[in-house]
Amino acid sequence: MSESQLWHEVDDYFTDRLLPDAPDDALEAALRDSDAAGLPAIAVSPLQGKLLQLLAQVQGARHILEIGTLGGYSTIWLGRALPADGRLISLEFNPEHAEVATRNIARAGLDKQVEVRVGAALDSLPQLADENPPPFDLVFIDADKVNNPHYMEWALRLTSTGSLIVLDNVVRGGRVADPANTDPDVVGTRAALDLIGSHPRLSGTAIQTVGAKEYDGFALARVLA
């Protein structure tokens, strides 16, 4: 058995044991309709979605910001962590993705709490800041990786002490640490990691993950005073 097959088997094992009731109908349907609409199959895995949900719950998150909605799969996991009066704003560049996501989110019963905003996140973020929203308790960054350092800067502006910033896809099969790799996405992720490591208001770490998303990982950064 290849290493990758083993990762998938263990992922399936954990999913069966730990998420016996999930992915449920709304999550399954979100993936099915995303696939039918031709969206790329790059959503977080069920176990990763549950991790995001747990992190939001540990945060006691009432306000969540997501950058990169796709079909709303991670959005639904995160949105379900919110209290009734909580709110999630998710930013998506592609109007077709946003349309699929909006339907998926409504089917999950989250349309009152979740808003998908269409546009390039670097246009939406300054507009959002102008609205002076309450600080976001959790920010999930999962869009175009080339802009990760900019998204980190905006996340810092839109959060406050104790907020958590989660950055997806920091490993990408190990490309992050390959000095020969100068892909702009990889360079963007490196710059975001450098920012986390050097910023006086951030305390961060990164975890490598294997499983349904192959070999990848998350960076986590807590906002300090």
Given the DSSP bridges, would you call strands 202-209 and 87-92 parallel, antiparallel or unpaired? unpaired
What is the 8-class DSSP label of residue 133? P
Site string for Mg ion, 168-207 (x = CB under 5 A): xx--------------------------------------
**Beta carbon of residue 173, minimum distance to Mg ion (angstroms, whole number):** 13
94 binds, among ligand DHB, ligand SAH, Mg ion, none (CB under 5 to 8 A by kind): ligand SAH
Spatial separation of the C-alpha atoms in residues 212 and 97, rounded to whole Å: 22
The tokens 């044991």 sit on which residue?
17
Q: Is 178 helix (H, G, I), strand (E, B) or coil?
A: coil
Name the token pair of 141. 């960054």
45 binds, among Mg ion, ligand SAH, ligand DHB, none (CB under 5 to 8 A by kind): none
Name the token pair of 136. 């976001």
Chosen residue from 47, 55, 89, 93 binding ligand SAH by CB under 6 A: 93
Site for ligand DHB in 125-154 (CB under 6 A): 142
Angle at 151 between CA 145 and CA 157, to 5 degrees: 170
Q: Residues binding ligand SAH: what is the number (CB under 6 A)?
A: 18
Q: How far is CA 164 from CA 127, 200, 202, in A?
A: 22, 15, 9
Site for ligand SAH in 3-42 (CB under 6 A): 42
Q: Does 43 bind ligand SAH (CB under 6 A)?
A: yes
Among the residues of 39-114, which ranges form H helices? 46-59, 73-79, 95-107
Q: Which is nearer to Mg ion, 15 or 169 (CB)?
A: 169
Binding positions for ligand SAH, rule: CB under 6 A: 42-44, 68-70, 73-74, 91-94, 97, 120-121, 142-144
Binding positions for ligand DHB, rule: CB under 6 A: 42, 142, 168-169
